[in-house]
Structure 1
Amino acid sequence: MSKRRKAEKGPAPLPPSALYRVCDSARFDFATTADLPGDFDGPAPALGQERAVEAIRFAIGMRHRGFNLFALGAEGTGRRSLILDHLREAAAARPPADDWVYVENFAATARPRALRLPAGRGRALERDMAHLVEELGHALPAAFEAEDYRARRQMVESEAKQQREAAFSAIQEDAEAHGIALVRTPGGLGLAPSKGDEVLPPDEFKQLPDEVQARLRAEMERLQERLEATIKQVPRWDRDARARLRELEREAVGRAIVHLMDDLRRAWVDLPEVGAYLDDVARDVALNAQDFLPESEEGEHRGEGRPRGPDGRFRRYRVNVLVCREGETGAPVVMETYPTQPNLIGRVEHIAQYGTLITDFNLIKAGSLHRANGGYLVMDALKLLMHPFAWEDLKRALRDHEIRIESPGQAMGLISTLSLEPQPIPLDLKVVLVGDPMLYYLLSHNDPEFGELFKVSADFDWHMERSETNTALLARSVAALARKEGLRPLDRGAVARIVEQASREVADSTRLSTHMASLADLVREADYWAGDAGAQTVAASHVERAVAASIRRLDRVRDNVQDEMLSGTVHIATDGEAVGQINGLAVLELGRFSFGRPTRVTARVRFGKGDVVDIEREVLLGGPIHGKGVMILSSFLASRYATELPLALSATLVFEQSYGGIEGDSASSTELYALLSALADLPIRQGLAVTGSIDQFGRVQAIGGVNEKIEGFFDLCRARGLDGSHGVLIPAANVPHLMLRKDVVEAAEAGLFAVYPVESVDQGMALLTGYPAGERDAEGKFPSGSINRRVAARLGAFMRRAEDLAMPRLSGGLGRNGGGG
Structure 2
Amino acid sequence: MKVNEEEYKNVLSIYRVPVSELRSEFDANHFSFQTTDDLEHVSNEMIGQKRAEKAMEFGLSVEQTGYNLFVVGTAGTGRLTYTLDSVTKQAKERAVPKDICYVYNFENPDMPLVIDFPAGTGQKFQQEIEILLIDIERQIRSTFSSEVFEKDKRKIIEDFRARVEAIWQETDEFALQQHMKVERTPEGIELVPLFNGRPLAVEEFEKLSETDKEMMKNCEKIVGQKIDETVYQSLKIEELLKKKVNQFMMEVAANSIKDLFSPFRDKYQENKKVIEYLESYFHDVVSHYTFFLDTNNNGQENIMKALMGGSNEHFHHRYTVNLFVNNKNLAGAPVIYETNPTYYNLFGKVEYQGSLGSWTTNFTLIKPGALHLANGGYLILQATELLQQPQVWMRLKMALQTGSIQIENLNEMNGVIPSNGNRPEPIPLNLKVIIIGSYYLYDFLSAYDEDFHKLFKVKVEFVAIMKKDQENSWKLARFVKNYVDKEGLLPFHRRAIAKVIDYGSRLVEEQSKLSTDFQEITKVLVESSYWAKLEHESVVDDRHVEKALSEKAHRSNHIVEQYREMIRNGTIMLETDGYRIGQINGLAVMGTRDSIFGIPTKITAQTYVGKNGIMNIEREAMLSGQIHNKGMMILTGFLSGEFAKNRPIPLSASITFEQTYNSIDGDSASSTELYVLLSSLAEVPIYQGIAVTGSVNQWGEIQPIGGVNEKIEGFYHICKSRALTGKQGVIIPKQNIQNLMLETEVVEAIKEGHFHIWAVSHIAEGIEILTGVDAGNIRNEKGQYPEGTIFAKVENRFTKMFEMANKLKN
Report TM bin, short chain: over 0.9
Question: What is the alpha-carbon distance in structure 2 between the residues aligned to residue 479 and residue 499 of structure 1?
Answer: 14
Whichever residue aligns with residue 454 of structure 2, its letter is: E
Deviation string, structure 1 residues 433-485 (Cα, Å, up to 9, x no partner): 11111111111111111111111111111101111111111112222222233
Change (3 A) 1:756 1:623: same
Q: Percent identity?
A: 35
**Correspondence for 2:730 among 724, 728, 732:** 728
- Structure 2: unaligned runs, 5 residues or longer: none
Give the corresponding residue for 2:76. 76
Give the corresponding residue for 2:397. 395
**Correspondence for 2:806 among 796, 800, 803:** 803
Give the corresponding residue for 1:562. 564
What is the SS of the residue equivalent to 2:792? helix
Counterparts in 2 of 1:373-452, with a 5 A limit?
373-408=375-410, 417-452=419-454
Change (3 A) 1:409 1:313: closer
Counterparts in 2 of 1:143-292, with a 5 A limit?
143-182=143-182, 189=189, 193=193, 201=202, 208-292=208-292
Give the corresponding residue for 1:601. 603
Question: What is the alpha-carbon distance in structure 1 between the residues aligned to residue 491 and residue 200 of structure 2?
Answer: 118
Do residues 124 (structure 1) and 124 (structure 2) align?
A: yes
What is the SS of the residue equivalent to 2:236? helix
**Correspondence for 1:23 among 15, 23, 26:** 26
Do residues 57 (structure 1) and 53 (structure 2) align?
A: no
Is the 2:291–2:312 contact (alpha carbons within 8 Å) kept by the matching residues of 1? no
Is the 2:307–2:355 contact (alpha carbons within 8 Å) kept by the matching residues of 1? no
Change (3 A) 1:206 1:552: farther
Change (3 A) 1:207 1:700: farther
Is the 1:8–1:770 contact (alpha carbons within 8 Å) kept by the matching residues of 2? no
**Correspondence for 1:779 among 779, 782, 806:** 782
Question: What is the alpha-carbon distance in structure 2 between the residues aligned to residue 692 and residue 309 of structure 1?
Answer: 83
Give the corresponding residue for 1:677. 679
Give the corresponding residue for 2:457. 455
Whichever residue aligns with residue 464 of structure 2, its letter is: W
Is the 2:302–2:311 contact (alpha carbons within 8 Å) kept by the matching residues of 1? no
Change (3 A) 1:492 1:167: same
Change (3 A) 1:304 1:9: same
Q: CA deviation at 1:312?
A: 2.7
Do residues 470 (structure 1) and 492 (structure 2) align?
A: no
Change (3 A) 1:626 1:580: same
Give the corresponding residue for 1:819. none
Counterparts in 2 of 1:696-715, with a 5 A limit?
696-715=698-717
What is the SS of the residue equivalent to 2:430? coil
- Residue correspondences, number: 803
Counterparts in 2 of 1:662-673, with a 5 A limit?
662-673=664-675
Whichever residue aligns with residue 460 of structure 2, its letter is: A
Change (3 A) 1:150 1:568: same
What is the SS of the residue equivalent to 1:606? strand
Which region of structure 1 is more displaced relative to structure 2, 369-378 or 52-61? Answer: 52-61
Change (3 A) 1:188 1:648: farther
Is the 1:8–1:767 contact (alpha carbons within 8 Å) kept by the matching residues of 2? no
Is the 1:302–1:313 contact (alpha carbons within 8 Å) kept by the matching residues of 2? no
Give the corresponding residue for 1:359. 361
Is the 1:666–1:703 contact (alpha carbons within 8 Å) kept by the matching residues of 2? yes
Is the 1:617–1:627 contact (alpha carbons within 8 Å) kept by the matching residues of 2? yes
Change (3 A) 1:173 1:457: same
Change (3 A) 1:755 1:189: farther
Give the corresponding residue for 1:818. none
Give the corresponding residue for 1:628. 630
Q: CA deviation at 1:94?
A: 1.0
Is the 2:325–2:368 contact (alpha carbons within 8 Å) kept by the matching residues of 1? yes
Question: What is the alpha-carbon distance in structure 2 between the residues aligned to residue 239 and residue 297 of structure 1?
Answer: 25
Q: CA deviation at 1:248?
A: 2.7
Question: What is the alpha-carbon distance in structure 2 between the residues aligned to residue 239 and residue 457 of structure 1?
Answer: 74
Q: CA deviation at 1:431?
A: 0.6
Change (3 A) 1:544 1:232: farther
Q: CA deviation at 1:700?
A: 0.9
Change (3 A) 1:187 1:555: farther
Question: What is the alpha-carbon distance in structure 1 between the residues aligned to residue 392 and residue 84 of structure 2?
Answer: 22
Question: What is the alpha-carbon distance in structure 2 between the residues aligned to residue 49 and residue 534 of structure 1?
Answer: 37
Question: What is the alpha-carbon distance in structure 2 between the residues aligned to residue 160 and residue 512 of structure 1?
Answer: 99
What is the SS of the residue equivalent to 1:600? strand
Q: CA deviation at 1:2?
A: 5.8
Give the corresponding residue for 1:9. 10
Which region of structure 1 is more displaced relative to structure 2, 407-416 or 344-353? Answer: 407-416
Whichever residue aligns with residue 145 of structure 2, its letter is: E
What is the SS of the residue equivalent to 2:668? coil
Deviation string, structure 1 residues 475-525 (Cα, Å, up to 9, x no partner): 122222222333222111111111111111111111111112221222222
Q: TM-score, normalised by structure 1?
A: 0.93
What is the SS of the residue equivalent to 2:773? coil
Deviation string, structure 1 residues 338-394 (Cα, Å, up to 9, x no partner): 111111111000000111100001100000011000011110112111111111111
Q: CA deviation at 1:198?
A: 5.0
Which region of structure 1 is more displaced relative to structure 2, 595-604 or 31-40? Answer: 31-40
Question: What is the alpha-carbon distance in structure 1 between the residues aligned to residue 482 and residue 235 of structure 2?
Answer: 86
Question: What is the alpha-carbon distance in structure 2 between the residues aligned to residue 204 and residue 689 of structure 1?
Answer: 145
Is the 1:306–1:312 contact (alpha carbons within 8 Å) kept by the matching residues of 2? no
Q: TM-score, normalised by structure 2?
A: 0.94
Do residues 504 (structure 1) and 527 (structure 2) align?
A: no
Is the 1:728–1:755 contact (alpha carbons within 8 Å) kept by the matching residues of 2? yes
Deviation string, structure 1 residues 743-773 (Cα, Å, up to 9, x no partner): 1111111111111101111111111111011
Change (3 A) 1:652 1:306: farther
Is the 2:2–2:773 contact (alpha carbons within 8 Å) kept by the matching residues of 1? no
What is the SS of the residue equivalent to 1:135? helix
Do residues 113 (structure 1) and 113 (structure 2) align?
A: yes
Question: What is the alpha-carbon distance in structure 2 between the residues aligned to residue 305 and residue 236 of structure 1?
Answer: 37
Is the 1:610–1:646 contact (alpha carbons within 8 Å) kept by the matching residues of 2? no
Question: What is the alpha-carbon distance in structure 2 between the residues aligned to residue 204 and residue 448 of structure 1?
Answer: 105
Is the 1:629–1:665 contact (alpha carbons within 8 Å) kept by the matching residues of 2? yes
Change (3 A) 1:207 1:528: farther
Question: What is the alpha-carbon distance in structure 2 between the residues aligned to residue 233 and residue 637 of structure 1?
Answer: 121
Is the 1:341–1:390 contact (alpha carbons within 8 Å) kept by the matching residues of 2? yes
Change (3 A) 1:180 1:83: same
Is the 1:7–1:772 contact (alpha carbons within 8 Å) kept by the matching residues of 2? no
Question: What is the alpha-carbon distance in structure 2 between the residues aligned to residue 655 and residue 212 of structure 1?
Answer: 137
Change (3 A) 1:794 1:303: farther
Give the corresponding residue for 2:338. 336
Question: What is the alpha-carbon distance in structure 2 between the residues aligned to residue 194 and residue 300 of structure 1?
Answer: 54
Q: CA deviation at 1:598?
A: 1.0
Deviation string, structure 1 residues 221-279 (Cα, Å, up to 9, x no partner): 44444333333344433332222222332333234323432334444445332233222
Change (3 A) 1:210 1:133: same
What is the SS of the residue equivalent to 2:15? coil
- Structure 1: unaligned runs, 5 residues or longer: 808-821
Question: What is the alpha-carbon distance in structure 1 between the residues aligned to residue 388 and residue 739 of structure 2?
Answer: 38
Whichever residue aligns with residue 806 of structure 2, its letter is: E
* CA root-mean-square deviation: 2.4
Change (3 A) 1:232 1:792: farther
Is the 1:307–1:360 contact (alpha carbons within 8 Å) kept by the matching residues of 2? no
Change (3 A) 1:256 1:238: same
Is the 2:347–2:407 contact (alpha carbons within 8 Å) kept by the matching residues of 1? yes
Is the 1:30–1:492 contact (alpha carbons within 8 Å) kept by the matching residues of 2? yes
What is the SS of the residue equivalent to 2:775? coil
